[in-house]
A and B are shown apart, each in its own frame.
Chain A
Amino acid sequence: MNRSLYAARRRRNGIMLSLSLAATLLGLGWLVVILSVLLWEGFSGLSLAVFTEMTPPPGADGGLLNPIFGSLILTVLAVLIGTPIGMLAGTYMAEYGRHDRLTSVVRFINDILLSAPSIVVGLFIYEVMVAPMGHFSGLAGAVALAVIVIPVVVRTTEDMLLLVPDQLREAAVSIGTPRAFVIAKVCYRAAKAGMITGVLLAIARISGETAPLLFTSLNNQFWSTNLNAPMSSLPVVIFQFALSPYKDWQKLAWTGALIITFTVLALSIAARALSASRKPS
């Protein structure tokens, strides 16, 4: 009786632990499957023409130059708009208002914005920018992406500044440094690696974002540097091309997908390496 109970417990243990191993293999398997399909489908389409030619009409040869350029512009602008706001807000939460009511409210709201559906951000920017201006524009797309950048940067800035030892602040204050200079000259320097990590993660996050761009920057078949006009971007072009019935458009969509994925993976690995090398333990 006792022995059979013991055997049953061991058996259950064995089953559950095998299941957990199987689950892990399944998770890793998906990653391998997705990446290898992406490499298989995307790599064959990869050529110099992808980076030097415009998006083609169906049936013709072409590349992805204008969407790649558009994505770069939108991403850079979004980071330029979003990073300062995010860093300042994070600074307030970690430095001036550490024990404020405001800080805990902002932290709660920010965490929700961090995982809010990005398509809602697109609707928001459509309502406040596209509809009043009367037309889609690259600028609206950049602002929509900036709204996604802000929560990521706020979160990492606050976390990283909170890791800076208080002794550093106290030492700086004791020699008469005003608070703003303590933050700028001491805290920011100590937390630099972590804050850069946050920006990298934010770039990784927005470089694949499609939903907020669909009805803000829309799409543009031609080369355009006009921020006041619709602007092409890689994710939106992938969306359009992949759902088209044309084989060569689908091929370009795969190639674009490959470019985006490896950019994102490279960015997140870089961010991890950066934060791992400076992690205070």
Chain B
Amino acid sequence: MVDVALQGDAVETSAVAARAKALNRLRVADIVFRALTRAAAIGVLIILGGVIISLIDGSLPALRAFGLNFLVEERWNPVTEKFGALAPIYGTLVTSFIAMLIAVPVGLLIAVFLTELCPMWLRRPIGIAIELLAGIPSIIYGIWGLFVFAPFLQDTLQPFLIATFGNIPVLSTLFAGPPYGIGMLTAGLILAIMVLPFITSISRDVFDAVPPVLKEAAYGIGCTTWEVVRYVVLPYTRVGVIGGVMLGLGRALGETMAVTFVIGNAHKVSASLLAPGTTISATIANEFTEAVGDLYTSSLIALGLILFVITFIVLAIARYMLLRIERRIG
């Protein structure tokens, strides 16, 4: 463009120069803006890199002191400086498992209701209400769980479970001990409420994307609504639903505050779901500011690293699944 402007011989030299200068300024502005946006995009990658590097760097002393033993050692003793991550890892997996066990069927059923049964005018309000559940900060779930939900479970569900399963061989170990109120079961139930909206909203979106022709064909040969959902909608959206479930699982694994309130922070691996336990995130939240000594701090950061690696893998699978269904639906 600059060349064209300079060739025009009817234009006076000063005007040509001014024009060239203006065009040049615009071009520089464009280059600078492009570079800025590119730098910001790379910045996102740098954040992730920074998280990984700083976590590895911070956990080196602990990993050097305990090695891989750190993963399978149950003891967590700040006084003798012996640390092992088994109890928090166990607690994290158990609470998330309980949460998914409840949230997946309930979340999917709500999505079925919203896409197949609900009258049109009610869909948006109910959808928004369910999503508001996702918007409530986790500390609110925590304070509610501690003061309302845990005492409620202590008085109702937990004595019931103990009484019902107390004499059945395997289940009696799962529901052994006094009803504390707080504990792994309570934490799992609260996590279930928290991840429910994620599973619901993603499944609803992928259910909505099923081509109507497929459903109409199934109805046409006389399928019931449930059969349409079970044999047409679910197979078609399987990948997306798994993606949504994994996303919910990622949330459940990393959830901190709600769990910290109700888990009881006990570094113990106990078979009973009613016993207090701890999770990776709850341990960090409870102990980090009070940790004295490099090895203690470093062990907590190592826990953070483990949590990050687990959630990273889960979330990466979730995104990959969702990407696949996005491509198919287009």
Contacts and interface: CB of A to CB of B under 8 A. Distances in A.
Interface of A: 9-10, 12-13, 16-17, 19-24, 26-28, 30-31, 34, 37-38, 41, 84-89, 91-93, 95-97, 102-103, 105-106, 108-113, 115-121, 123-124, 126-128, 147, 150-151, 154, 176, 178-181, 183-184, 204, 207-211, 214-215, 218, 235, 238-239, 242-243, 250, 253-254, 257, 260-261, 264-265, 268-269, 272
A211 B285 contact: yes
A214 B288 contact: yes
B117 interface: yes
Contact of A23 (B109, B285, B308): B109
A220 to B, nearest CB: 13
Nearest to A87: B40
Given A113-B44, A127-B57, A121 B256 contact: no
Interface stretch (B78-86, B127-135, B211-219, B268-276): B127-135
Nearest first, the 6 A-B pairs at minimum CB distance are A208-B137, A117-B254, A88-B40, A92-B37, A23-B109, A13-B224
Given A17-B225, A120-B51, 12 more contacts: A17-B117, A27-B106, A92-B34, A95-B37, A96-B34, A102-B38, A106-B42, A110-B44, A124-B50, A210-B257, A243-B146, A257-B140
A150 B117 CA distance: 38
B128 to A, nearest CB: 7
B26 A116 contact: no
Interface residues of B, number: 92
A216 to B, nearest CB: 10
A124 B144 contact: no
B254 to A, nearest CB: 3
B240 interface: no
B278 interface: no
A181 B51 contact: no
A37 B144 contact: yes
B312 interface: yes
Contacts of B146: 242-243
Contacts of A105: 45
B315 A115 contact: yes
B16 interface: no
Contact of A27 (B37, B39, B200): B200
11 contacts: A17-B116, A30-B196, A92-B37, A93-B41, A109-B44, A111-B315, A116-B308, A117-B311, A180-B26, A239-B139, A265-B136
A165 to B, nearest CB: 18
Q: Taking each of B47, B139, B247, B312, which has the highest tally of chain A beta carbons within 10 Å of its own beta carbon?
A: B139
B135 A272 contact: no
A4 B144 CA distance: 48
A210 B139 contact: yes
A24 B113 contact: yes
B112 A20 contact: yes
A211 B256 CA distance: 7
B132 A31 contact: yes
A117 B257 CA distance: 11
B58 A123 contact: yes
Given A115-B315, A116-B315, A264 B33 contact: no
Contact of B261 (A96, A119, A243, A269): A243
A124 B53 CA distance: 9
Contacts of B144: 34, 37-38
Interface in B282-326: 284-285, 288-289, 300-301, 304, 307-308, 311-312, 315-316, 319, 323
Contacts of B48: 109, 112-113
